[in-house]
Amino acid sequence: MHIATKGSKIDISSEKKLEEFANNLSFELKKGDIFFLIGEMGVGKTTFVKYLINNLQRMSKTNLTEVTSPTFNIMNEYNIGSLLIKHCDLYRLKSPNELENLNLFDENDKAILLIEWPQIIKKKPNSVTKLYFEYENEYQNRSIKISN
């Protein structure tokens, strides 16, 4: 990924900055990419996904859809042109055994995975980009750190 260097910190303190980061990242995506979105509630993970998916929809000249948190249904899928985006939220899962029916990493080369709350995943794929969403300065600012 060429958006930032590994370990660099990206300021997302405003929604505009978060949207710019998501839009820039959308140009770098390819089938098979897996992103773990890590951070506290309310730090901007789902908002990031919304901007990313909506920009991909604009780029492919498809209708913009409402992008919501998949907290209760665990996974939302978006078909955008030839791309399949799987947006997962594993917050409600209590055991790694509950992941089995999701088949998260099956046919991975045909989709892009965006996984919130991935800490429950014990057997991680080899190639994962981790986006750490963080609050800073007593919740006045937010940032993203990228790690592979």
pLDDT digits (tens, 9 = 90+) for 9-46: 999 999 999 999 999 999 999 999 999 999 999 999 99
9 near 21, Cβ under 8 Å?
no
pLDDT computed for residue 6 by the predictor: 57
> Where residue 80 falls among pLDDT bands split at 50, 70, 90?
very high
Q: Which is it for strands 34-38 and 75-80: parallel, antiparallel or unpaired? A: unpaired
pLDDT digits (tens, 9 = 90+) for 45-66: 999 999 999 999 999 999 999 9
The contacts of residue 132 (CB under 8 Å, 6+ apart) are 38, 39, 144, 145, 146, 147
How far is the C-alpha of 43 from the C-alpha of 12, rounded, in Å?
Answer: 10
Could you tell me the CA-to-CA distances from 133 to 38, 42, 45, 53, 109 in Å, in that order?
6, 10, 7, 18, 26
pLDDT digits (tens, 9 = 90+) for 85-144: 999 999 999 888 888 877 788 777 889 999 999 999 988 888 999 999 999 998 889 999
- And the tokens for 91? 């917050």
50 near 69, Cβ under 8 Å?
no
The overall pTM is greater than 0.75: yes
